[in-house]
Structure 1
Amino acid sequence: MSAAFDANALAGLFVEARAHRAKLDALPDDARPIDATQAYAAQEATLRLLRADIGGWKVGAKSPDGPIQGAPLPGDGMHKTGARLALHAFGKAGLELEVAFRLGRRFEPGSGPYRDEDVLAAIESVHASIEVVASRFAAWPDVEKPWQLADLQNHGALIVGAGVPYDAAFPFVSPAMTFTFDGAPLFQGDPANPAGDPRRLLAWTVNHSVSRGLAVERGTVVTAGSYTGLAFPAAPGTAIGVIEGLPAVELHNA
């Protein structure tokens, strides 16, 4: 008989790994999440152990009508455009270019459920963002999916560009964009978000949060999936993401 899952035990391993820039090779029997419910419990336990405020969420889906999953992001991992980070400190770290939404109202714990139009009406601004994707597992990306979800969905850091007011006419499904590192392109082909229109992810995020007793504070940023896939720059330099209609976002890899 397998050991009962202990979200706090897994959270402790994640917090230790973050503190020492270490990687986990395996998990003890009682710290192996087998589904999303256990993974979400580990996410919340991790933020409690970090004593971290939720500064944002990362959320995504594998297809335009597929299931949604997400993770709360520690406030100290949120950065403004122009941030200087040492990507090597994350171990193997990838970069993605995304569209993020800043919410202009608070959603109370236990409230809702909210409809899409309720949450769309709360969008204060839209931003280009660069997600630093990183894992606490040595074998990543060859890691069990619930383990990755528990690990804040492979979150390293989020760099958020300046925003513009929300415009429903913006081409969210396929905006024109470039993503470069020291002038060299970081992706080929046409940008596409596997979730389709990323706005469909927002009400899920709010409802997921408040249903678990977590407020969504005014100013929370929700980054809603990559349009470019993962890129792995190997040297110091500057990543610049330009999404037409939004201010550019920059990350300096020190």
Structure 2
Amino acid sequence: MSAAFDAGALARLFVEARAHRAKLDTLPEGARPSNADEAYAVQAETLRLIGVNIGGWKVGAKSSDGPIQGALLPADGVHRSGAHLAMDAFGRAGLELEVAFTLGRRFEPNRGPYDDAAVLDAIESVHASIEVVASRFAAWPDIEKPWQLADLQNHGALIVGEGVPYDAAFPFVAPAMTFTSNGVPLFHATPANPAGDPRRLLAWTVNHSVSHGFAVERGTVITAGSYTGIAFPDTPGHVVGTIAGLPPVELHFA
């Protein structure tokens, strides 16, 4: 991390933008993250300033063997299926349909590393989830990647459906699904997670968390990348995501 970078200064800007539903045009000198380590420091400081617990993680990768990155999620931004959220609270907001996992054990901070088998064995349940993608930057998505990562990887809110017990035979690479707003499809392509099997992202998330001094509590939700790409609804609506084998997830976007 460069000596000139001030993670706290950027975190304060993000917290103020969230509180006032404001958008940032640019960042001042000294508050411009240039790499992932600086971005992750901002994430941690943002949650500290907000004063809420970690409610979960969002994690993803651009390819089936590519690098992984993620963001911790404030507990007050993680909602149950059926949540009512105001579109204007986010500015320009996108929606993604994802598979999320709930872990059934605690992983202690500053322990590990844990291998895939240990983390997969900890999966308690699997859920359909809707990620509300939103940015604190006016020019998003034309923003530097480390800036987006610092901004909790463009996190607005997460809506999590009811879970079912984990079954390793579930078709995680290519599940059948639909995603609609007021009955109108939000995507038309074949569903696919660019990370491939999203379970490959879980051990990274646990190890990233504990290595940064954060426990992974029992019940932690990890949402693991979009199968549908990002959709930008123009009007309020009743959004429903269905993934075969999982209970549906619903969002009332007003």
Class of the TM-score when normalised by the shorter of the 2 chains: over 0.9
Runs of 4+ in 1 over 3 A off after TM superposition: none
Indicate yes or no: 2:58 matched with 1:49: no
**Structure 2: gaps of 5 or more residues:** none
Could you say what secondary structure the match of 1:30 adopts? coil
- 5 Å-filtered alignment, 1:134-213, equals 134-213=134-213
TM-score w.r.t. length of structure 1: 0.99
Report what 2:36 is aligned to.
Answer: 36
Report what 2:236 is aligned to.
Answer: 236
Report what 1:81 is aligned to.
Answer: 81
Could you say what secondary structure the match of 1:31 adopts? coil
Could you say what secondary structure the match of 2:94 adopts? strand
TM-score w.r.t. length of structure 2: 0.99
Indicate yes or no: 2:217 matched with 1:217: yes
Q: Distance in 1 between matches of 2:120 and 2:189?
A: 30
Q: Distance in 1 between matches of 2:192 and 2:225?
A: 10
CA contact 1:3–1:29 (8 Å) conserved in 2 = no
Letter of the aligned partner of 1:156 in structure 2? Answer: G
Q: Distance in 2 between matches of 1:42 and 1:81?
A: 29
Deviations 1:111-169 (A, max 9, x none): 10000010000001000000000000000000000000000000000000000000000
Report what 1:22 is aligned to.
Answer: 22
Could you say what secondary structure the match of 2:141 adopts? coil
Q: Distance in 2 between matches of 1:155 and 1:26?
A: 18
**Structure 1: gaps of 5 or more residues:** none
Alpha-carbon distance change, 136 to 126 in structure 1, aligned in 2, over 3 angstroms = same
CA contact 1:179–1:239 (8 Å) conserved in 2 = yes
Deviations 1:71-106 (A, max 9, x none): 000000000000000122100000000000000000
Displacement, 1:3? 7.6
Could you say what secondary structure the match of 1:91 adopts? coil
Deviations 1:15-59 (A, max 9, x none): 000000000001001100000000000000000000110010000
Letter of the aligned partner of 1:233 in structure 2? Answer: P
Aligned residues between the structures: 253
Q: Distance in 2 between matches of 1:167 and 1:196?
A: 17
- 5 Å-filtered alignment, 1:35-114, equals 35-114=35-114
Letter of the aligned partner of 2:105 in structure 1? Answer: R
